[in-house]
């Protein structure tokens, strides 16, 4: 798929797409569209209200060439998320019918909206063409087309170029999260990062089990000991010579989670291939930052393992060591993500000096009970960082919402026999106590945030009948980093 920008169309495309809002200019815009394309205005006004997801299809002639015209309703809301959802669904549904050349004409949208709509259109066209059938023997290839975005607004070519890079990385992240455990082991994930680093220009080091043992990443080792797949500890670094800030990113990389001896029910266990959604978001972020050459230094760490069941698996009640030196009482072996993250957080804060530290994890069902599938849980004691991440999420449509980190919750993690226990044992405040557990291992980092993406990394999408990957976290992180860089330039 090739996406370019033009100020004026020179040849008639197979299909012309006109996105339009349901606002006070709708009638006058429809009148102009009807006049330009020789359509009956009264019929157009009667049949099309520009509601979200509404599509009116008709045909028009330009000279001797006939072309399809699709007017797409964007509804009343100007927010990034709903518009992306509408256009992504549109491209997913209409892809086979659009032909080889497509023009998206933004002329009937306020010019101040053109940058956002150009970005969304580019992402929607690429991600909306995603094929979920990764392992089908008769896998159908996605139809290829050329897409032109018509706009006279300044800076649109750069917006589209960055959006294409974003969408291509999101598709790679979706492939990672959608891959089953036998196709994505910790070792395979490590190799994926090594190849990405070589292609995009960042450094990668992957520690194998022997190196992990030497490093005494004991919590990671404890979780992995029930699996015949060796763990991996992935460290990736991207540096820019003009960077003024170093951001640390950590992602939970459980490539499959049975729950261990505290085993999960069978009904949805096949979805537990997605328990490395945090790792995928972090690795996608560093790949995209390198592609875009963002003026920031990044360190990304992913502890990768399976959480499986055999005679060697950790047991409820076990006391395990950690990289920090603190001992942990394992109350529930299905609370394993926080165990491997504890080693990653301790390692990051000991080995690297980061101005900001953010971890992403598909950590708890509790956050889904609280926020549903529309926002990720945000946990931080830093009000400034909280506001910045909320603003970044609002801007790009990957929303986060803050939950409390009060000291009151610390008593739920007190252990009689170890420094801390990994689970409160109570059927409430699970996402909060998980965040409080992680806080123990941050070495009191004052600019740390934990983002629980259990409800947003994997869910119902237009791409399949079962739940599948969303690539949540990549755009949120990149938007946050972009805003960070812009503030530094102005300082």
- What's the rounded Cα separation, in Å, for the pair 240 and 201? 11
Backbone angles phi, psi at 293, to 5 degrees: 55, 50
Strands 297-307 and 253-257: parallel
Compute CA distances 171 → 129, 164, 176, whole Å.
Answer: 10, 11, 9
CA neighbours closer than 13 Å in the CB half-sphere of residue 239: 5
How far is residue 320 CA from its own chain's centroid? Answer: 32
Containing H/E element for 270?
none
For 206-223, the DSSP string reads: EE-HHHHHHHT-HHHHHH
Active site residue 264: yes
Give the DSSP letter of residue 469: E
- What's the rounded Cα separation, in Å, for the pair 148 and 211? 50
Structure-token match 């094929």, residue found = 131
The catalytic position among 36, 92, 205, 264 is 264
The catalytic position among 252, 338, 436, 482 is 338
- What's the rounded Cα separation, in Å, for the pair 13 and 15? 5
* Nearest CA-CA partner of 282 in 362, 338, 375: 362
How far is residue 41 CA from its own chain's centroid? Answer: 42
Beta bridge partners of 300: 236, 249
The catalytic site residues sit at 264, 338
């Amino acid at each position: 798929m090739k996406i370019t920008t033009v100020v004026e169309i020179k040849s008639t495309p197979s299909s012309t797409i006109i996105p339009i809002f349901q606002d006070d200019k709708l009638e006058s815009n429809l009148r102009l569209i009807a006049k330009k394309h020789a359509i009956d205005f009264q019929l157009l006004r009667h049949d099309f209200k520009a509601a979200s997801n509404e599509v009116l299809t008709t045909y028009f002639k330009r000279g001797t060439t006939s072309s399809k015209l699709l007017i797409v309703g964007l509804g009343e809301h100007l927010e990034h998320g709903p518009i992306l959802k509408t256009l992504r669904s549109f491209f997913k549904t209409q892809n086979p019918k659009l032909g080889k050349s497509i023009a998206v004409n933004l002329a009937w949208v306020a010019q101040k909206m053109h940058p956002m709509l150009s970005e969304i259109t580019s992402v929607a066209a690429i991600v909306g063409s995603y094929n979920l059938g990764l392992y089908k023997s008769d896998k159908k290839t996605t139809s290829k087309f050329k897409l032109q975005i018509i706009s006279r607004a300044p800076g649109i070519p750069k917006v589209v170029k960055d959006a294409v890079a974003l969408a291509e990385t999101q598709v790679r992240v979706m492939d990672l999260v959608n891959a089953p455990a036998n196709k994505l082991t910790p070792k395979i994930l490590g190799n994926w990062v090594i190849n990405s680093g070589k292609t995009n220009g960042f450094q990668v080091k992957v520690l194998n089990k022997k190196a992990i043992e030497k490093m005494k990443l004991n919590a990671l080792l404890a979780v992995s000991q029930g699996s015949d797949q060796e763990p991996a500890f992935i460290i990736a670094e991207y540096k820019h010579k003009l960077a003024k800030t170093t951001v640390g990113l950590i992602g939970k990389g459980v490539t499959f989670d049975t729950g261990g001896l505290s085993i999960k029910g069978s009904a949805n266990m096949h979805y537990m291939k997605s328990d490395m959604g945090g790792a995928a978001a972090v690795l996608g972020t560093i790949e995209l930052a390198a592609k875009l050459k963002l003026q920031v230094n990044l360190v990304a760490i992913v502890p990768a393992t399976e959480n499986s069941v055999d005679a060697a698996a950790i047991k409820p009640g076990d006391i395990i060591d950690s990289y920090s030196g603190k001992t942990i009482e394992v109350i529930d072996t299905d609370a394993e993500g926080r165990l491997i993250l504890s080693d990653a957080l301790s390692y990051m804060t000991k080995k690297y000096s980061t101005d900001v530290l953010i971890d992403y994890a598909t950590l708890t069902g509790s956050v889904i009970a609280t926020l549903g599938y529309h926002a990720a849980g945000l946990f931080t004691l830093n009000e400034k960082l909280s506001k910045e991440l909320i603003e970044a999420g609002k801007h790009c449509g990957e929303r986060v919402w803050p939950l409390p980190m009060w000291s009151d919750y610390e008593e739920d993690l007190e252990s009689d026999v170890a420094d801390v226990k990994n689970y409160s044992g109570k059927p409430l405040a699970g996402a909060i106590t998980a965040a409080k557990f992680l806080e123990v291992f941050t070495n009191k980092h004052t600019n740390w945030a934990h983002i629980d993406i259990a409800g947003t990394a994997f869910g119902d999408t237009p791409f399949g009948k079962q739940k599948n990957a969303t690539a949540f976290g990549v755009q949120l992180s990149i938007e946050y980093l972009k805003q960070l860089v812009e503030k530094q330039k102005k300082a």
